[in-house]
Amino acid sequence: MLWKRKATLAELNKIGEGCMVAHLGIEITRLSDDELEATMPVDNRTTQPFGLLHGGASVVLAESLGSMAGYLCTLEGQQIVGLEINANHLKAVRSGKVRGCCRAIHVGRSHQVWQIDIFDEQDQLCCTSRLTTAVLTR
């Protein structure tokens, strides 16, 4: 198992309350031994003026998943901060929900690299993102 911390879906979703994660309707939906998934609605909170999923909203979903996964890979007294994120937007989405799937590329003592792929409701890849995080000790 990849994770060092024990957490339930309910506990992970509680962490997202009162911040951008909740504001955009992001919900952690699956926690496996080495993957973390979440959904986000495509609605007035997450679209741009032309009715398409906003690229920035996709990046928020990606960074939220990668940061949460990074947190799960730390010990008490450590925290995760993002260093760099990139995203390639591959397909427009106009409605429904998107699903982000986060997998580790590298989990080291001081840095982590996460791959986050975002799919539409037809399971077509819409966005692929890579997040690099730093592990800080308080």
Q: pLDDT (tens digit, 9 = 90+) per residue, 7-48?
A: 999 999 999 999 999 999 999 999 999 999 999 999 999 999
Each residue of 91-132: pLDDT tens digit?
Answer: 999 999 999 999 999 999 999 999 999 999 999 999 999 999
Q: Is 63 a catalytic residue?
A: yes
Kindly report, residue by residue over 46-90, the tens digit of the pLDDT. Answer: 999 999 999 999 999 999 999 999 999 999 999 999 999 999 999
Q: Which of 63, 76, 84, 121 is catalytic?
A: 63
- CATH level 2 (architecture), domain 9-137: Roll (3.10)
- Residue 76 in tokens: 């008490």
